[in-house]
Chain A
Amino acid sequence: MTAQLPPDHLSRYFADRHLHQAMVEAGNGEFDECLEMAARASQEVRERRHELPPGERLRVLRADE
């Protein structure tokens, strides 16, 4: 689903994070919350709620930092 967006699109990153949490919820047997997180991912891809102007970027600490 998130592959519909370019790899560097911020909404793709957000959607991937939602999907990751959806998998975590499923692994914990929390299926309502799994569906909620999957719906948020879908919404993020559909509505592209995170589009930044040129030059602005989201800074997230990497594990090796």
Chain B
Amino acid sequence: MFPTSKTILLTAASATLALTQSAVAEEWGKDRHKGNPYVAGDMHNHNTCTDGSVAAGYSIDRAVGRGVAPAGGNNFDLDWFTLGNHGGSGNRDCRFSDTSANLPGQTTTTWDQTLGKTIDGITITSLKGTPNGTGSSAKMWRWQSIQEIEYPIIANRTPVYKKVLIEGLEWIAPGHEHVDVAVITGQNPRHEGGNADKMAEFEYRFDRTDTDAIGPVFGSGQNQVWPGKDNVNNSGTAGHQKSLAAIAWLQSHHPLQSYVIPTHTERQGPFDPSGSKGYNIEHFRDFNNAGPTVAFGIESPGHFAEGGLSGGSGSYGTGAVGGGTYGMSGIYTAKVGGLWDGMLGEGRNFFIYVSSDWHSRGAGGARDSFTTADFIPGEYTKLYVPNAGKFSAHSVIDGMRSGNSYSVNADLIGPDLVFRAKARGDDWKTMGETLVVRPGDRVTVEMEMTVPAKNNSPYSFNNPLLVPIGTKQPLNKPSLDHVDLITGKITGVIAPGAAGYAVPNAAGTAGASIVYNPTATIAQQIPATKMHREHRDGDAVRLRFTTTFTAGNSPFYIRARGTNIPVGTPNVSDSAGNPLLDANNALVSCTDPACPPHLEAIAGVKKVTHDVQAYSNAWFYANPIFVRPEGSPKLLVETNADLARRLGQRAEHDHHHHDND
């Protein structure tokens, strides 16, 4: 008998129940969607504290609010939300939206205009640290806006929305590009006395664009709260070493209260030993080695509506590794046998996440239904983590760390994915977990998902990418064509410096040819038409299939992805169903009379670009289930989960011991 929704809920939450940080945490998210096995969030987005277009509070309102915003524009009702804004500094007062957002009563406001004024209950009397610009260019260092602007705004809104709000960061990592980070230690926005000091300290100490040499002070004003900053080694190989020191700092001080997730990792091309950009696989291996319970994955690019005639979706130009996105993912994730499979082929706890990278709507204002740049958090991308019983910021991080999470674009599937495997008995293992089998065992894989009745697309005309193959599929109605089950062998952890640890990388389409795990393959492809189909409320459809694999003598993993794009769709997917370079989508015309005027055109003929492209080419990615033979050594994903469990038990013991003092 198939599990009831309550059973699914327990399965989804099981991986986090053992992590005691959740158990001791107070529930924050009472108004989340409690009936869903997984809850949706976003951890990477921007506001006017850095280079976003809207106020910090406004971005929260649109992401987690319900219904329609007071001045217009849909809210997106996320269950949890992390402000993940750049490090460095910013000259705009982020209690105000930028003029370009076209919001009533909002004009670009700089810090020099508001010092000493109380706005939204917050008074900023001075710009602290090393002076950084004058007049309208006077900038506030991000450590200050984290402490004194963003966190207080989170504290103000948490009781309003009763959802989990977290102060995070898009860390501009020394030697590299950008990285999603959160340090939740001290954050307790439901109560006075909480703070984001540890998040701010991380930003001050380790962000390469935060060159402030002072930071907060105490006493007579001469004593640094955070002394000993390395303000020198910010680029190239030395910068990479500083990034590793940053991750080691998190692992040492906040091993269960932080994460480090590099983002849009292909965008700037390969790592440059004398510059500050990109990553190669050895850097991700270094990260995971330095932070086994904090550096556990990478993020797909956001900026999903930026695609134009010459590419650009995901903000990826032709110089990105891979030369652009593939099915709205970078090549590290999208390629079977690519970098992600290389990491999984070692048995690492290395998972995939997605977020919006919301800055602006490009040609549109914040309330317009169209976008030529980014989607608002929750509008297009959803990162699902288990809906733990007492949901809190710890639950978000526990869920991400466990690997029991999945990433969805365009609401292709909903919040109730079941992806699990078993061999004998009823010992199901889900994403991020390891199934122990005997060679020759039949491994049963079960997958069940709901395709929602609608997504947030403002367009109801038929998907222009599918018109050439005669398929009529309205853009605002999600449709799943098939699911790929991708397997790869696990051959063990490669030691630093050993052969294969570092792999030459390449910019552009040459980077798409690099194979990191030659055993990875689309082992099974299950058409939606072959799945058990059950209609739900409205036009939603519940799809289910069960299939089997035979266990061999060596460990392997099974990951899943799904899409609305049929195999061999011209300019979209190849004959095996892999996504092609998304720049090819713009070769297809959008000829429906309803095709909107903001699409890029050639000789007056609109092409599949921007948000129409994003809704036309929809994918989801589910993290892997690991399988290994009985008696074989534990995989790194298991030993690192064990480490997290021990750290959690120790924290719980310390907490209990402290309570008894």
Residues of A within 8 A of B (CB): 10, 13-14, 17, 20-21, 24-25, 27-30, 32-33, 36, 40, 43, 47, 49-53, 56-58, 60-65
Contacts and interface: CB of A to CB of B under 8 A. Distances in A.
Contacts of A47: 309
Given A28-B88, A28-B89, A49-B309, A62 B102 contact: yes
A14 B86 contact: no
A51 B102 contact: no
A36 B88 CA distance: 19
Contacts of A14: 363, 372
B365 A58 contact: no
B51 A58 contact: no
Contact of B72 (A32, A52, A61): A61
Contact of A64 (B104, B308, B315, B359): B104
A56 B598 CA distance: 11
A63 to B, nearest CB: 5
A29 B99 CA distance: 19
A28 B207 CA distance: 14
Contacts of A27: 51, 90-92, 137
A56 B362 CA distance: 19
B98 A60 contact: no
Given A49-B600, A50-B601, A28 B363 contact: no
**Interface SS, B side:** loop
A28 B50 contact: yes
A36 B601 contact: no
Contact of B51 (A33, A49, A50): A33
Contact of A36 (B91, B102, B317, B364): B317
A47 B90 CA distance: 33
B616 interface: no
B574 interface: no
B365 A60 contact: yes
Contacts of B365: 60-63
Contacts of A50: 597-598, 600-601
A15 to B, nearest CB: 10
B209 interface: yes
B602 to A, nearest CB: 8
Interface string B476-518: 0000000000000000000000000000000000000000000
Nearest to B308: A49
Interface of B: 50-51, 53, 72, 86, 88-92, 98-100, 102-106, 137, 139, 209, 268, 277, 308-310, 312, 315, 317, 359-360, 362-365, 367-368, 372, 597-598, 600-601, 604
Given A24-B51, A25-B51, A56-B597, A61 B367 contact: yes
B137 to A, nearest CB: 7
A63 B104 contact: yes
B137 A13 contact: no
A47 B104 CA distance: 33
Contacts of B600: 49-50
A27 B53 CA distance: 13
A30 to B, nearest CB: 6
Given A21-B360, A28-B89, A51 B137 contact: no
A55 to B, nearest CB: 11
5 contacts: A14-B363, A21-B100, A21-B360, A29-B209, A63-B102
A43 B306 CA distance: 14
B98 A24 contact: yes
Given A24-B98, A30-B86, A60 B104 contact: no
B363 to A, nearest CB: 5
A32 B320 CA distance: 14
B363 A60 contact: yes
Contact of B100 (A17, A30, A36, A56): A17
A58 B363 CA distance: 9
B86 A49 contact: no
A35 to B, nearest CB: 11
A28 B209 CA distance: 10
Given A21-B360, A29-B89, A63 B72 contact: no
Contacts of A51: 601, 604
B360 A32 contact: no
A51 B604 CA distance: 6
Nearest to B277: A32
